[in-house]
Structure 1
Amino acid sequence: MYPPPHSHPYAPAPPPLRRWWQHPALIITLLVIFPPAGIALAWTSLWKKSQKIVATVLSGLWFLLSLLLQDPPEEDTKADRPTATASPSPTPTPTPTPTPTPSETEEVPVMPSLVGGAYASAEPIVTANLGRAYAAYKDVDLPAEYGTWLVCFQRPDAGAPVTSAVPVVYLTEPGVPCPASPNTVLHKPTPPPAPKPRPTTQPPTVAPEPEPTQEAVEEDVYYANCAAVRAANAAPIREGDPGYSRRLDRDGDGVGCEN
C-alpha cells in the first residue's frame, strides 16, 4: 500500500475532531450552572491539562460557595403548634392601704422637766443624747461626783424634741440656792476699805477717784477671738464671764472656746 500523494512521512498528525459536547462555550456554561457536569466535560475536552485543573478548582469552589450561601429550608411548624385561646384576665381588685394608727407611728422623744431634781435622775437622758452638765455658778467647779447636785436650768426646755438640741443642765450644790441666770458669780469679791485721810494743816485736797470695781473691769474686757481668750488664761469662757460673746460660742451652749 502506498502513501497518499503529496504526503510527507514526517508531517504532524492532524488534530482530533472536536465533538459537540467538547465545545468550550458549552463546557464553561455547565461549569457555572452545573459544576459537576461541567467538570466532567472539561476533562473530556481538548483543553490542556493545566486549563482542566484550573477549571476544576474554580468550578468546585463556586459549587461549594453556592451550597454554603443557600438558605436552609424553613420547617413549617405552625401547624404543629397548638392554638392557645386567649382567656380574659381577671380585673385586679385594689388592696386598701392600711391607715397607721397613732400607736404605730414613731414617737419623737421629748425633753422631760429636769429642773428641781437631782442630777442622778437626769443623767440617763443627758448622757444618752451626748449632753453636758455645768455648775450654775461660774466660780464653782463641779466635783468628781455630783449626782446629788440639783438641776437649776436645762436646755432645751421641757416638752421640746430631744433631737433638736444637745441637752445641757446647770447644777448647784445641795443647800445652795439657784442663781437668777446661769454663769452667775456666787462669791463676789469684797472691795478693799478706803484709806483714812491723814490729818494735816494744809488745805484739804480733792480725794482721789475710787478705783474701778471688779464689775466695772469685767464690763471692759473684750476678746477678739478664742486665741485671745486662751492667751488670757480664761478658756473656756462661759455665758456671763467678762468678755463672753456669742462670737466665741459657736454651738450656743453657753460655753465658748471649749476646745
Structure 2
Amino acid sequence: MYTSPYQPAPAPTRRWWQHPALIICLLVVLPPAGIALAWTSLWSRNKKIVATVLAGLWFLLFLLGDPPEETKDDAKTAPKPTATVSPTPTPTPEKTEDAPVMPRLVGSSYADIEQLITDNLGRTYAAYKDVDLPADRAAWTVCFQRPDAGAPVSSAVPVVYLTEPGVPCPKSPDEVLAKPTPKPKATTPKPTPTRQPTRTPAPTPTQDADGGSVYYRNCTAVRDADAAPIRRGDPGYGRHLDRDGDGVACES
C-alpha cells in the first residue's frame, strides 16, 4: 500500500475570542470591536465582509439617530418653571329681579289665567281623577298649581288643577269625586184584593115528568140547593137520585 510522505496540515485551533456567539454579540452591542474580532476569526472571507457591512450600517444608524431622552431622575432634578397663576375672575351673579315668577293662581278662574298657561305651554287637569275636563272650562276654579307661587316661570312648565263651579277642592289631586247614588223612592205595596169564592148558583128547580114541583138532575144540584138528603115524599125526590132504593137520596 502506497503511503504519501506528506501529511495534511492540522486544523487551526479556535481561541475563546474567536467564538461565533461572542463575535455576533459584539457586532450588535459594540460594532467596532465585533468587526475586529470577526476578521481574526476562522470565518470565510465572504462572511467577514457581510458581517462588517451589516455592523457598520447598524453603527451608523445608532450614531445618526435621535439623542436619548432624559431619564426620569434627570427630569425630577431639573427645576420646573414657575407658572404664573392669573386670578380667576369671580362670575357676577345675574340679577333675578327681572326674571318672571309664578304668581298665585289658586282660587282664580281659568278664564283669568288662560293666557299665562297658553304662553308658557302649561297643562291643565281636573282636580278629581274621575272627572273629565270639558272644552269650555272658563268658569272652573284653580285648586292646585305647579310650581308654587314665587318660583321662576322658566324653571318648570306650569300645571294647574281645576274643579267645576260649586264643587269643593279635594285635599290632593289623587282623590276621586264620590257622587252619591240617588236612592230609589220607597213604594208602598198595594194590597192584593182577596178573591171571594165564586158560588155556583143553585139550579133552577124544574117540574118533573110526574107533575112534581121540583126536579134535580143529580146529587150535586141537590147539595148546591142545600136539600140533601132527600127522602121519599120530599120535593125533588126521584129514583135517579136514590141509587140503593132505600127511600133516602143523596145521603153522602
Shared fold, TM over 0.5? no
TM-score by length of 2: 0.33
Larger radius of gyration: 2
